[in-house]
């Protein structure tokens, strides 16, 4: 982490978990535990149906609410989709864009990620843009080639003044939900590579202001080691964000 230049952000990705009543209960449990989160921002990205309950439950706390996806059009005949304006009207502050599960199961592409990033920024949302490689790409030695392509396409049309609103999350696809985790040095190497790419695109000053999270099975046990790395500025937390004690421990590690 480098708090001199950028914000540390710990974001929970609840995926398809928790009903509205369960959402209220977990946030009520988290609020007193996270009250001392002084040095990092805390975000909970919940299912669409839980957003209203989450925002009400988190009111008056340090917890911001995010969405797990959004559409790239303002409105229209897109059955089942949700627009950025719909989210901001509810009070949503962040939106995960391009998560590997969206890419794998719902045909998300680098081009649709770019469209969503543009629309999120226009609406006042902070996009959490996910980038990552498969185990085959890592074994073939093309990890950074793939990551750089994802970063560049995601930011097409994004002005330098908007870059600091964008959060990147490096998620090695081979380490999500598998129990495997990249070593701290492997994770930092890629996050550093993302920042190098940003520096080439926007210059050093803009690049150093961007928060880059690690999103590959960060948990209560490995959070401190990962967050001690120079270019890891937080985490996009999956399963551990559904357990109040574990998530609190990760936030506490970010506050050291």
User: Tens digit of pLDDT for each residue in 222-255?
Assistant: 999 999 999 999 999 999 999 999 999 999 999 9
pTM above 0.85, yes or no: yes
Per the annotation, the verdict on 171 as an active-site residue is yes
Q: Where are the alpha helices (DSSP H) in 124-243?
A: 135-139, 143-154, 160-163, 184-202, 204-207, 223-227
Q: Which residue has the higher pLDDT, 179 or 8?
A: 8
Task: Work out the average pLDDT over 10-26.
Answer: 98
Phi, psi (rounded to 5 degrees) for 160:
-60, -35
- How far apart are the C-alpha atoms of 164 and 127, rounded to whole Å? 11
Percent of the chain topping pLDDT 90? 89
Task: Work out the average pLDDT over 110-119.
Answer: 98
Phi, psi (rounded to 5 degrees) for 210:
-90, 130
State the pLDDT at residue 153.
98
Q: Name the token pair of 177.
A: 């939900």
Q: In DSSP terms, which residues pair with 43 in a beta bridge?
A: 11, 64
Look at residues 85, 36, 69, 44 and name the one whose alpha carbon lies nearest to residue 240: 44
DSSP state of 220: T
Strands (E), 87-186: 94-97, 126-131, 167-170
With tokens 């097409």, the residue in question is: 156
Residue 59: pLDDT over 80: yes
Residue 54: pLDDT over 70: yes
| Segment 82-105, tens digit of pLDDT | 999 999 999 999 999 999 999 999
Q: Is 249 exposed, middle or buried (0-12, 13-18, 19+ CB in 10 A)?
A: middle
Residue 178: pLDDT over 70: no
Residue 175: pLDDT over 80: no
Residue 179: pLDDT over 90: no
- CATH number for the region 8-254 comes to 3.20.20.70
Residue of 99, 101, 108, 252 with catalytic role: 99
State the pLDDT at residue 77.
98
State the pLDDT at residue 235.
97
| Distance between start and end Cα atoms, the chain | 10
The residues near 242 (Cβ < 8 Å, ≥ 6 apart) are: 12, 14, 17, 18, 26
Residue 123: pLDDT over 90: yes
Q: At what angle are helices 51-58 and 20-33 packed, to 10 degrees?
A: 30
Per the annotation, the verdict on 99 as an active-site residue is yes
Look at residues 161, 85, 158, 81 and name the one whose alpha carbon lies nearest to residue 125: 85
């Amino acid at each position: 982490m480098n708090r001199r230049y950028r914000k540390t952000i710990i974001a929970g990705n609840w995926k398809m978990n928790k009903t509205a009543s369960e959402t209220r209960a977990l946030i009520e449990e988290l609020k007193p535990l996270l009250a001392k989160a002084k040095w990092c921002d805390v975000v909970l990205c919940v299912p669409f149906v839980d957003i209203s309950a989450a925002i009400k439950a988190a009111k008056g706390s340090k917890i911001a609410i995010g969405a797990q996806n959004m559409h790239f059009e303002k409105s229209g005949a897109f059955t089942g989709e949700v627009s950025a304006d719909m989210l901001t009207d509810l009070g949503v502050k962040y939106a995960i864009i391009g998560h590997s599960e969206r890419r794998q199961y719902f045909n998300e592409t680098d081009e649709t990620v770019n469209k969503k990033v543009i629309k999120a920024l226009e609406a006042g949302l902070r996009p959490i843009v996910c980038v990552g490689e498969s185990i085959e790409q890592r074994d073939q030695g093309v990890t950074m080639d793939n990551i750089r392509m994802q970063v560049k396409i995601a930011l097409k049309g994004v002005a330098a003044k908007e870059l600091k609103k964008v959060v990147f999350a490096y998620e090695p696809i081979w380490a999500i939900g598998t129990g495997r985790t990249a070593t701290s040095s492997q994770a930092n190497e890629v996050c550093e590579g993302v920042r190098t790419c940003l520096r080439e695109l926007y210059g050093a000053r803009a690049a150093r202001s961007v928060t880059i999270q690690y999103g590959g099975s960060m948990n209560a046990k490995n959070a401190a080691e990962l967050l001690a790395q120079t270019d890891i500025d937080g985490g996009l937390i999956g399963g551990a964000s559904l357990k109040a004690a574990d998530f609190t421990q990760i936030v506490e590690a970010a506050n050291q």
